[in-house]
Amino acid sequence: MNQFDFLQKATIGQYIPTESLLHRMDPRAKIIGLGLLLFAVTFSSSRIGILIGLAAAIIGLLAAKIPIQFALKGLIPPLPFLLLIALIQILLMPGGGEQILFSVGPLKVYLANVLTSLLMILRFCVLILLLSLMTFCISSSELIHGLQQILSPLHRLRIPTMDLIMVIQITLRFLPFLAQSAEKIAKAQASRGAEWGTKNRGLISRIRQIIPLIIPLFLTSLKRAETMALAMDARAYGFKPYRTSMFEYAFRLRDGVFLLVTLFVSIAVFCL
C-alpha cells in the first residue's frame, strides 16, 4: 500500500456500486431500516442482541456483495482507541462484581468489568460495520433524496430541512476531497525533501510530518468551501425553497419486506 493513498485507508464513507439487491432497494427503506438497526445496537443492553446485530451487519455486507475483508479494514484505525477506552474502563471502574480475575498491585480487575468492556468494543465494531454498510450501499444522492422525502413532513412545519440535507451532502463530498488534498500536500512536501515515504516510522517522526500538513489543509479547505459556495450559487441553489429529484422512487413490496425484517431484527437486538 502506498503511504499517500489516504483515501484507501478510509473505507467508511465510500459508495461502492455493486448493483446488488440491497443497492437497488428504495433509499427510504434502506435509511430507515439500517437506521433502526443502528439505534437498536446503540441502546441494546444484551450480549445476544449485539451478536444478532453483528450477524445482521455481516449478512447485510454479503447481500450488498461487499468483500468482508474490505469492510473489516475500516475497523483497524479506531481499534487502538477502543482498546484504550476498554483498558481505562477495566482498570478504573469501581468493582461491579465479586469475581476478581486478578489484581496488579492496588488495582483489581473484575470479571464483570472485562465483560462490559468487551461488549463495548463489540458494540462499536458492529456500529462501524453498519455505518460502513450504509455508505457502501446508499449513494450520497440516494441519502440526500431519501432523507429529503423522509423529512418532508417537517418541511411543512417550516423547519429548513433542505439546508440541513445540503450540509450532509457537502460533508460527504468533502470527505474524499480532504483525503485528496492531504495526499497532494504530502506529495508536494515529500518531493521537496520532507520525511514522507522514507524509512522513518517512529511515532514522533510521524507526528512531525503531520503537523506541517494541517495548516495548508485548513487553508485549502476554506478556499475550496468558498468557491464551492459560489458554484452552488451559480447553479441556482436556493432558487426555490424546495428541490426536485432526478430519481423517482417507488416503494415496492420488497422494500416493505426489508423494512419489516429490519424492524424484527432491531426488536430482537433491543429486547433479547
Partner 1 sequence: MKTLFVIDHLSYAPPKSNKENFLILKDISFSVQEGEFIALVGANGSGKTTLARHLNALLIPTSGNVLVNGINSRNQQFRNQIRAAVGMVFQQPEDQIMATIIEEDIAFGPENLCRLPTVIREQVDEALAVVNLLENRYRQSHLLSAGQMQRVALAGVLAMQPRCIILDEATAMLDPKGRKDILARMEALNRMGITVIFITHFMEEVLLAQRALLLHQGKLIFDGKPHTLFSDDALLDAGCLEKPAAVRFFQCFPALFPGIDNPVLERNKLFDSIAPCKVKFSNLSEETYLPKQTNPSEIEIRDLSHTYMAGTPLAHLSIKNITMEVQKKVPHGLIGATGSGKSTLLQHLNGLYRPQHGTVRVGPFDLNAADLDVKSLRRYAGMVFQNPESYFFEQYVGDEIAFGPRQIFGTQNLREKVKWAMDLVGLDFLTYKDQIVSTLSGGEKRKTALAATLAMSPSLLILDEPTAGLDPHSRKNFLKMLSHLQAEGIQMVISSHNMEDIAEAVQNVTVLSEGMSMKTVPVEKIFADPSFLSKTGMESPVAWQLAQALRNQGWPISPKSITIQSIIDETNAAINRENDESI
Instruction: Let me know: does 36 contact 260? Beta carbons within 8 Å.
Output: no
Closest CB 112 distance from partner 1, rounded Å: 40
Nearest CB to partner 1, comparing residues 14 and 116: 14
Nearest CB to partner 1, comparing residues 11 and 266: 11
- Per the rule left: phi > 0, alpha: psi between -120 and 50, beta: everything else, 51 is alpha
Nearest CB to partner 1, comparing residues 95 and 241: 241
Nearest CB to partner 1, comparing residues 64 and 86: 64
Closest CB 63 distance from partner 1, rounded Å: 15
Cell numbers found for residue 164: 440541513
Instruction: Let me know: does 40 contact 270? Beta carbons within 8 Å.
Output: yes
Closest CB 82 distance from partner 1, rounded Å: 23
Residues at the interface with partner 1 (CB under 8 A): 1-2, 4-5, 7-8, 11, 14-18, 66-67, 70, 139-141, 169-170, 172-173, 176-177, 180, 184-185, 187-195, 197-199, 212, 215-216, 220, 224, 227-228, 230-240, 242-248
Distance CA 31, CA 127 (A): 15
Closest CB 263 distance from partner 1, rounded Å: 29
Q: Nearest CA to 261 among 102, 44, 14, 36?
A: 36
Q: What contacts 172, CB < 8 A, 6 or more positions away?
A: 13, 140, 143
Q: Nearest CA to 260 among 32, 52, 79?
A: 32
Which amino acid is residue 7, in one-letter code? L
Closest CB 17 distance from partner 1, rounded Å: 6
Nearest CB to partner 1, comparing residues 172 and 269: 172
